Chain A
Amino acid sequence: MQLVCPAGSLPALKSALRQGADAVYTGFRDDTNARHFAGLNFTDKQLQSGVDLVRQKGRKIYIAVNTYALPDGWARWRRAVDHAADLGVDALIAADPGVLGYAAKHHPKLNLHLSVQGSATNAAALQYYHEHYGIRRAVLPRVLSLNQVRQVAEASPVPVEVFAFGSLCIMAEGRCHLSSYVTGESPNLSGVCSPASAVRWNQEKDVLSSRLNDVLIDRYEEGEAAGYPTLCKGRFMVNGKRFHALEEPTSLNTLDLIPQLTAIGVTAVKIEGRQRSPAYVEQVTGVWRQALDRYAANPQAYSVESAWMQALDKVSEGSQTTLGAYHRAWQ
């Protein structure tokens, strides 16, 4: 399985390459990609350096143009696709049928990967993107169980890539408007979820509260770990009870599943986190490289080392990790 790692900046890209990423993925510095955060992503010049470094090391680079094109901003998406093709990247990661159609028509040699934002959770949807745009790979949303990943992979016309580590969306990616409902900005249209500009922290006596566009997301007593106020990970009230009504603040970690994912025929595992620091990329890429190499060398003897888990727990959201939807037995 190929290890695909996030490169939100040139230092992060270097960390990923140093630690053994087979491929890195990145985006342009505008709303054409789903990590449109201040200070993140590449200028044209930085991107050229990034591509050169990747080439020297013989690895791959993918560019995400994976938001949905605004009708009055189409020129930005067109430019992003053209630029990615000019740079000769190994794949364009896209979701919008408009973007995919444009790329397929004007840059037939450019490999297309269906972004997780395309929200394709089944083989028939993948068939559509394959027939109409010739996608070569699809990234599956994090809502599928392992058994469902197997079913999709078996019937899919293209190889599938799955998320292996990082932040966990409890909602099907591309099918979630919670962020725009509260802040006006969404992953699909703005490339952000629960944007930092809408976040406000307030310490009152012993209670720390986090707000998103003035909506209270959570309150923390002293000693409680406070997480970034992503809407789906707050504590809310339902039927008079206060709890994580949608999802606990946990991260995905699937080191345990390397044998199963390999057996299913998953072509690549993806590390989430273009918005994270180069130190995060360094740490996570290093652990996953070791784990994948260990498994490849001797599949029967593979087991997850506690040192790997400790290293990953340190950089995990909420300092807790989970197998996410992959482990569920039910549909």
Chain B
Amino acid sequence: MKLTLGPILFYWTRQQIMDFYANVASEPLDVIYIGETVCSKRRALSLDDWLELARDLRSESGAQVVISGLALIEAASELSGLRRLCDNGDIMVEANDMAAVHYLTSKGVEFVGGSSLNLYNALALQQLTEQGMVRWVPPVECSGELIRAVMHQAAEEGFTLPEIEVFAWGHLPLAYSARCFTARAENRPKDDCGFICQEYPDGLPMTSQEDQALFTLNGIQTMSAGVSNLLAEYPRMRDMGIDALRISPASNGTLEIIRTFDQVRRGAQPPLAIDGCNGYWYGEPGMLRVEEAGLC
């Protein structure tokens, strides 16, 4: 099974980003996704910087490097930026909006369908696969059963599925808005945000009034409070034919997570229980850890 590193979802400084990739280049990763997927105002790296980083990383790591596009495209300037990204002519693109799908399919190039595309069944997948989608990252709310049903449906209909990559570790990206919740929490207008989200390299925690951890605010993106962790599901995911597992970068400890996942895929015993949440995989509320909730 492939091990992949998702794009950095938080806003880190240029130095943090460069240091991070210098560190992961020698890790056992098959695919590395880079690029800004959350907010077009984040410009620690320009598109040209990202593409240069992609080429450097490709030669240093030997991994496939993919550049991921923005998930929410509203302004004309964002659309033209996305078009340039899709036209790069060298680095494969992860489409996170149908605008990117439009540009990539018009050019006839292969692409990855990211988790913020609403692709939930084999008929939808078949359409995009025919147009060049080579890998599908299911929406994070999809259960293992849903993915299994997609595979079954594809087999019945005689469709060839793309590779399937499951979001296996990290804060889950749950929602996108025109509003910046980090700026809101700091009483700043979005157009004068001062890049305040850079002060929260793992997002800003939001709890209920009873101190129950609920969400993580990351600019215009709302994420899970808990880290989703599917390492314990490794044997079942391998047996059902999942092709790749994605680890989503955190400011600390990502290397250890990559190595732990790698050890399990090389035969080490997966943990029986995990820290973090795994409810979605079991078709339960995503915030739950099913063992704790007594659901398995």
Question: Does A302 make an interface contact (CB < 8 A)?
Answer: no
With A119-B118, A128-B99, A129-B98 known as contacts, the answer to whether A71 contacts B209 (CB < 8 A) is no
- Is the pair B127, A125 in contact by a Cβ cutoff of 8 Å? no
- B285 CB, nearest partner CB in chain A, Å: 4
Q: Using an 8 Å CB-CB cutoff, how does the interface string of A44-84 with B read, 1 for contact, 0 for none? A: 00000000000000000000000011111010000000000
With A125-B102, A216-B210 known as contacts, the answer to whether A177 contacts B74 (CB < 8 A) is no
> Which of B101, B149, B285 lies in contact with A181, CB distance below 8 A?
B285
Kindly specify which of B44-52, B75-83, B250-258, B267-275 makes contact with the partner chain: B75-83
With A177-B175, A178-B175 known as contacts, the answer to whether A237 contacts B99 (CB < 8 A) is no
Kindly specify which of A35-43, A141-149, A284-292 makes contact with the partner chain: A141-149
Q: Using an 8 Å CB-CB cutoff, how does the interface string of B112-125 with A read, 1 for contact, 0 for none? A: 00001011111110
With A101-B127, A188-B118 known as contacts, the answer to whether A71 contacts B153 (CB < 8 A) is yes
The interface size of chain B toward A, counting residues with CB under 8 Å, comes to 73
Q: With CB as the reference atom, state the residue of chain B lying closest to A148.
A: B74
- A135 CB, nearest partner CB in chain B, Å: 12
Kindly specify which of B2-10, B12-20, B178-186 makes contact with the partner chain: B178-186
Question: Does B31 make an interface contact (CB < 8 A)?
Answer: no
In the assembled complex, the Cα of A237 lies from the Cα of B83 at a distance in Å of: 39
Kindly specify which of A10-18, A238-246, A270-278, A315-323 makes contact with the partner chain: A238-246
With A97-B128, A124-B83, A245-B181 known as contacts, the answer to whether A180 contacts B121 (CB < 8 A) is no
> Which of B121, B178, B214 lies in contact with A143, CB distance below 8 A?
B178
Question: Does A199 make an interface contact (CB < 8 A)?
Answer: no
- B164 CB, nearest partner CB in chain A, Å: 13
The interface size of chain A toward B, counting residues with CB under 8 Å, comes to 72
- Is the pair B175, A171 in contact by a Cβ cutoff of 8 Å? yes
Which residues in A have their C-beta under 8 angstroms from that of B153? 71-72, 74
**Which B positions have Cβ atoms within 8 angstroms of A?**
40, 71-79, 82-83, 97-99, 101-103, 105, 116, 118-124, 126-128, 139-141, 146, 149-150, 152-153, 172, 174-179, 181, 184-186, 189-191, 204-212, 214-215, 217, 222, 224, 279-280, 283-287
**Which A positions have Cβ atoms within 8 angstroms of B?**
68-72, 74, 95-99, 101-102, 117-125, 127-129, 131-132, 143-145, 148, 151, 155, 170-172, 174-178, 180-184, 186, 188-189, 213, 215-219, 232, 234-239, 241-242, 245-247, 325, 328-331
